[in-house]
Structures are given as structure tokens and as C-alpha cells.
Chains A and B, each alone.
Chain A
Amino acid sequence: MEHQGEPAESAQRHAGVGLKLVHAAQIIAERPQIACFEVHAENFMVEGGPRLAALDSMRAQYPLSLHGVALSLGGAERLDREHLRRLKRLIGRYQPLVVSEHIAWSRHQDVHFPDLLPVPVNDAALRCLCSSIDEAQTVLGQRILIENPSNYLKLPQSDIPEQEFMVEAARRTGCGLLLDVNNVYVSSINLGFDAEGYLDSISADLIGEIHLAGHSRDAADSNLLIDDHGSAVPPPVWALYRRLIARTGPRLTIVEWDNNIPGWAELSAQADRAERAMLELRQSQIAA
């Protein structure tokens, strides 16, 4: 298209945002330079209409990332095959860069809880999770990334550090990791562990994507952080991010901002900031 003379810069971009449909018309009209837009897969599991039409237009201009929130990989039950088939159809339609899910559960018997509910981290849960990841990757015919949760509770019978739990799941199933730096930070405050140590322990070759977001302090309990995706990425999360990419090198990075949604300029500035952090890192490494 018209940018054919200068593909190098856009080809090297790595930062994107979670797509908010309120911005879609502006994005399609202005065509900002963004590496990728991420969408929640379930929001597009409809038969037709304006949502799919908007995503079709987005896909014509940008790569997409499909981020599932309801597969219930950690649920210790057989996966919902119909849901997997719908996900597979979306993958066929949009040919995303990456497909990711969470290590949470959201289905019990036949009831769906629209939330990411916590899984104890122990050996039995690891075996269940791996069998679900195997099932998903087999049906979908592709590798997925799994994301670390934001934690509020220390669950009983949890005897494996979460980072080891995730790394072991990746080693056993061949899946990759979506590392949510904000979730690591929120969990480290809520449960009291060392966020830097958590991030440092994860082998760079397993990390396929990074999430950034904002959080808030609970109104009733000032020791509690809530992962609400309702504000800009705060300084301690940027600091952890810089530390992480210094070790991994540039990675697909998605900024999530799902509540109190800002204008497009404010949201895209967050992606630009992540892009700049990766660029500065490359330049300092070249200089060194």
C-alpha cells in the first residue's frame, strides 16, 4: 500500500493495544502505526453484524491477537468442545499472530462464570492444566500462549510457585507464555512475593507476549491492589517491564485498558511508550 517505501519501521514494531470498538472508526480512518490489536475472542463469537464487520476492517489493515477469556483451561473438566470449535472458526477467519488464554477456570458443571477464577498451584492442577492445553492445541491445530492471573487469595494446597507452575506447563505441552507484568506486580503486593524474582526466573524463549495495564487500590483495604484495567500503566509496572525486556529483547506487547476507557490518543500513547522502551533498549545495546 502507500507505506511500501518504508516497511522497515512498521515491520519492527512490537507494541499494540487491546482494541476498544469505540475507537475502531477513528483507527480505520487515521491508520495509526501500531504493531497489533488484541481482541477478546468471545466478543466476536456472534453470527454477524457490526462487531464482525468492524473487526474485518481492522484485520484488513493490522495483524490481530486473539485473547480468549472463557476456555476454562484450569477447570479440571473436559473443555467445552463447541466453544473450541467457535474459537477455531475465528482463528480461520482472522489468522491472528497469536492465540492466548488464561490458566484460570470459569466453568463449573454447566454454569459459566464470566470471570477468571483462581486455580491452586500444585501437581494435580498442573496435570489437569496440561491435559487441557494439549486438548486445546490439538483441536485448534496451533500453539497457544497461557497467561498468569492476578491473585487476591493464597489458595490452600498450593505448593508450587506460580512461575514454576507456568514454565512446567509450557515445557510439558509446548505452549508459550503470555506474561502479564501488571498481574505479577498486583499479585506480588497482594500475596507478598518478589516480583523481580518471579520475572527473572522465566526463560526468555518461552515468553511469546507481554501484557501491561493499570490497577487500583481497594477502597476498603489499602494493602490490596485490584487489577481493574482502568487507568494508565503505573511507574512500578513500567519499571518491571523495562527489566523484563532488557533480558528478553523486544516482544509483542499489548496495553490493556478496559474500564474508564480513554480517547484513542491517550491509549495509543501507552503503546508508543512501550515501543519507545523497546527501541531505546535496542539502541543502548547497539551502543554498548
Chain B
Amino acid sequence: MNETLLAYKSDFAAKLLAAEPDAAPASLEPQYRQRFRIYRNNLYHGLGETLGEAYPVVRRLVGNEFFMATARAFIATHLPQEAILALYGEDFPAFLADFPPARTIPYLADMARLERARLEALHAADSLPLSPEALAVSQTEFAAATLLPHPAMRIIASSYPIASLWRLNQASEVQPRQLEAVAETVMITRPALTVQMHLLTSVEAAFIRALAGGKTVAESYVCASQPEAEFDITTAMRLILAAGAFMRCVVPAAKMQGHYS
């Protein structure tokens, strides 16, 4: 590879990322140094817009000017590691949680986590969700079965009414209304082409998380059965099927009783 070209690229890249707004490669003739800003603008504006499209409610909550300034701070330390930008900004929710100027909106980082989960669900692999027929097995078999999660399924738990806040911010004009200050846990799915959100009770979330983690239906039932909250597995299974949260039911092969005796 060519050392002169690599040195040119190193200098160009360093000046793109330099803190000084008028930085430019020293090798440029003076009349072109002014124009280097075009490339800096493209970099920050382009990635800022990419983040803005990925986090539209966050942008709306903080306003465009604040959002683009925050994006700039994020971009400087989180340059893309791959050529595809569809999923750029994975660390943006964590960045917001640690970004002091963003703390005036306490649920901002949770909103970012919700929007990130929706984005991942949007671009996840397509798969047919679990059908009710796939669950037509004996009770013993069902108890020992495991369910494979659908590639788009995500669960976001917040101590704020995060899904209600998200919905409130979809209208072109937000109608001020009283939201109940309750924690919400939301399951994101995409059984076909449209992303869906479903509110979960804490025990339903515990059940679905256990299933998605590979536990059997019986084990997951135990995880969800807590003395302080009632768990109804029939309702939970109905929700799982309606939302398309899982894609396959795996029933372990029946043991051949007495075969080895």
C-alpha cells in the first residue's frame, strides 16, 4: 500500500475530527483551506441527521438545536465502525444517560432505549411468528418446551410511563394531558412489516424474559410466579401469540421409557 496516500488520509481524517473549527490539512493551498469546512459539515450534519431519524422522539423532546449539538458530542467519540448506517448510534441511549445537559428530561435516556429497540426491530430478520397450531401439544410436552424468540422482539422496562410518552409524541401537536406517573414495561415486536408495542405487567415480562433466555415453559412459569403479583399463563400466552413475540416451539424428544432397563 502507498505510504504517501496513507499519510494524506491520516492527516485529512485527523483534521476532520479536530476540535478547532478552522482546522484543515497543512498540505492544502491557502485558497482551499476555507473549503475544508464542507467535509466537516458533511460529517457532523450527515451523522446528526442519521441519529435524528433513528431517535425522532428524543429530537422532538429536546428540540433540533439541542439535539444536533448533543449529536455532535456523541459523533466525536463514536465514529461509525462499519459502512452501514441503518443501525448507527447503538450507544446513544447510554451516552444520553451520562450527558449532564440532557438530565433536565429524566426519561430521555429511557426514550432513547425505546426508540433504539424499535429501530432494531424494524431492521431485524424477517420470520413468521409462532402459530397457535404449533402449541397443540400435550400439557407435559408444553411444560418441557422452549420457545425461540422472534428476531425483532425486545423488552424495555422504564420507571416512567415510557410507551405512553412515546405515543403522546406521535401526534403532530402534543395535547397536554395528565399521564399517570407509573412505570411501564413495553414489549416491541414486528410480526410482519409494522413495529408494534405491547405493555407488559412485571410478571408477564419476567415470564417472557425467562422464555427468551432459553428456560422451559415450566421454569419460566416459576420465574413469573411471585407472591405479590398474580400470573395468568393463559393471558400471557394469548399476548405472546397476538404480538408475535416468539417464532418456534421446541418440544424435547419424548424419553423412550424403559429402553435401557
Binding site for B on A (CB under 8 A): 42-43, 45-53, 70-72, 75-78, 80, 83, 86, 105-108, 110-115, 117, 119-120, 124-125, 127-128, 152-157, 190, 218, 221, 224, 226
Contact = CB atoms under 8 A, between A and B. Distances in A.
B39 A115 contact: yes
B253 interface: no
Contacts of B125: 47-48
B85 A49 contact: no
Nearest to A116: B42
Given A106-B83, A114-B46, A115-B39, A47 B123 contact: yes
B158 to A, nearest CB: 24
A224 B31 CA distance: 12
22 contacts: A42-B83, A45-B86, A46-B87, A47-B123, A47-B126, A47-B151, A48-B123, A70-B84, A76-B1, A76-B2, A77-B6, A83-B83, A111-B81, A112-B80, A114-B47, A115-B42, A117-B9, A120-B8, A128-B5, A155-B8, A190-B35, A221-B35
Contacts of B47: 114
Contacts of A77: 1, 6
B79 interface: yes
B89 to A, nearest CB: 12
A111 B151 contact: no
Contacts of A153: 28, 32, 35-36
A156 B16 CA distance: 17
Interface of B: 1-2, 4-6, 8-10, 12-13, 16, 27-29, 32, 34-36, 38-39, 42-43, 46-47, 50, 79-87, 122-127, 151, 190, 193-194
B234 to A, nearest CB: 31
B41 to A, nearest CB: 10
Contacts of A83: 82-83
Contacts of A52: 126
A112 to B, nearest CB: 4
Given A77-B1, A112-B81, A112-B83, A154 B29 contact: yes
A156 B27 CA distance: 7
B34 A221 contact: yes
A46 B193 contact: no
Contact of A152 (B38, B122, B127): B38
A112 B82 contact: yes
Given A48-B123, A53-B193, A83-B83, A156 B28 contact: yes
Contacts of A152: 32, 35, 38-39
B5 A47 contact: no
Nearest to B122: A49
A154 to B, nearest CB: 6
Contacts of A125: 2, 5
A154 B25 CA distance: 12
Contacts of B151: 47-48
Contacts of B28: 153, 155-156
Nearest to A119: B5
A170 B57 CA distance: 47
A43 B85 CA distance: 8
A75 B2 CA distance: 10
Contact of B124 (A49, A105, A226): A49
